Amino acid sequence: MTRAAALADSRAREFEFQASDHRAIAALVYDEVGILLPDGKAQLVYGRIAPRVRACGLTSFADYVAHIGRDAEERGRAIDALTTNHTSFFRENHHFEDFVERIWPPLADRLAKGGRVRLWSAACSSGEEPYSWLMAMFGNDRAAAQRLLKTDLRMLATDVSPSVLNTARAGRYSKDTMRTVPASLRSVWTGGDGDQLVVDPVLRDAIAFRPLNLLGDWPMKGRFDTIFCRNVMIYFDEPTKERLLARLGERLEVGGMLYIGHSERLIGAVQDKFRCIGRTAYQKIAA
């Protein structure tokens, strides 16, 4: 951007927004949730935070930076506003297909014999991933699904953003959003409500949606049989990715599966504990 264009852009803005304001917000977001917001993201930061500046009755970003430094609740709202939540139903469907074909049958057999199964959607956003996962697992057989859900099967779905978790818990989506759900599954697992579709309560009640910062404390004590943590690490730097992968590896059972995004890879010491058995699908082979 030329100096003249930058000046015109600044005059068009409702609030004063300096480079130092952007860097202060970027540093806070990095420290809290590990997301990188380089200088090239300044306009994105302005666009997403300006409504919060307005809501707080402030006149500049400098005032807002000072405000979130002492107000933890508003700081959370700022981070929520800056969290990117791009997702869709059956996104990267090869992961669901792989799970259903290879991983789910022995887990279902374990449940039938009285065992336990634990699944974790580690960045569930507005719920499309965990709902897709359950639909893929259960297929068209609603009665069989209800029987399985009476066993020791638990699915945890977490995200750092409270607003998207509210959407996930409601399970209410536009018909356009649901277009990527196969018609046979859509007819079994959703009901119409005007121009929206609502996920069946059988699925909604099967998922524990919880707030969780992947870089913070994890209250879960046990290990998981499969973890989906997809398209999250693309926002992190290499040291943050390495730390997160190590923690995810620790929370998987030996033999458990880790699915990550199509542009993500395992890095660091955790690589020695996994083998790649599909497209960004990794099985834990060592404790």
Hey, which residues are catalytic here?
Answer: 48, 159
Q: Are 78 and 49 within 8 A, CB to CB?
A: yes
Q: Are 62 and 16 within 8 A, CB to CB?
A: yes
Q: Are 17 and 61 within 8 A, CB to CB?
A: yes
Q: Are 236 and 36 within 8 A, CB to CB?
A: yes
DSSP 189: H
Q: Is 32 helix (H, G, I), strand (E, B) or coil?
A: helix
DSSP 16: B
Beta strand 224-229 with 116-121 is parallel
Residues 6+ apart with CB under 8 A from 67: 56, 58, 74
193, with CB counted inside 10 A (0-12, 13-18, 19+), is exposed
